[in-house]
Amino acid sequence: MTTRPVIDAGPALGFLAINKERLLISVLGRLSAPETVAAEVLRKSRSDGRFRAAEAVWQKLTPNWIEILPDDVTPELSAVVARITRLPMRQRMKESKDLGETMVIAHAVVAAEAGATVTVLIDDGAGAAMATSERRRLERLRLQGRPVGGLRLVSTLTVLERAAGGKHIPDRATMRTIYTRLRDHDDGLPPIERTGLLLPELWVARTRAR
């Protein structure tokens, strides 16, 4: 079980490939990632030139700053994976598509069902929808009196919003530069103008908070 935030491969590759791991950790603290995600990070960093720098950073951060969660077929993990994918865990583990996201959510849910409140960092739309569904299920269980924890869903945009006005992103020019670099590594991120990352209200609020 983990109470550290559980991260998916997409955000991990993005921040690590541009050497912004300190920014990520400053917002979320010490992290964790399933074995499946670790394998995906290493595979992509070796096969896609955009992510070449990520491997060295990943190796530096594990296991102290990024704890690797074993994807062993345990009763707890198996029950969650079977419920959210409608496949036995051993069968699901043989299909690589979206496996990292599935295991991120499964590990987080196992910890939440044991009473922890776990943050999940995931950008993919389908993965985020699955995590949201699980968060709502846990909320319903709590309303029924079950002693469960919960999930907090965050994204790359959330991390950047929380870092706005701080040491790593002191101003909007720095935000734009970092975001442009992240977007070069993640085609799924929208143009910065379609986010709230440059809005004056965000920066005023962050400046007052600090």
**Same-domain pairing of 168 and 147:** no
Print the domain residue range for 185. Answer: 157-210
pLDDT score, position 2: 60
**Same-domain pairing of 126 and 198:** no
**Same-domain pairing of 71 and 146:** yes
Q: What is the mean pLDDT, run by run of 10 residues, along the chain of 210 residues?
A: 87 97 97 97 95 96 96 96 95 92 97 96 92 96 94 97 95 97 92 95 73
Asked whether 122 and 6 are in contact (CB, 8 A), the reply is: no
Residue 83 lies in a domain: yes
Asked whether 67 and 1 are in contact (CB, 8 A), the reply is: no
- With both helix axes pointing from N to C terminus, report the angle between 75-85 and 99-113 in degrees, rounded to the nearest 10: 120
**Same-domain pairing of 146 and 204:** no
pLDDT score, position 207: 61
The domain boundary residue, chosen from 154, 179, 194: 154
Asked whether 147 and 115 are in contact (CB, 8 A), the reply is: yes
* DSSP for 31-67, written as a single string: EEEEHHHHHHHHHHHHH-GGGHHHHHHHHHHTTTTEE
Give 98: exposed, middle or buried? Use CB within 10 Å, 0-12, 13-18, 19+.
middle
pLDDT score, position 204: 84
pTM of the entire predicted model? 0.93
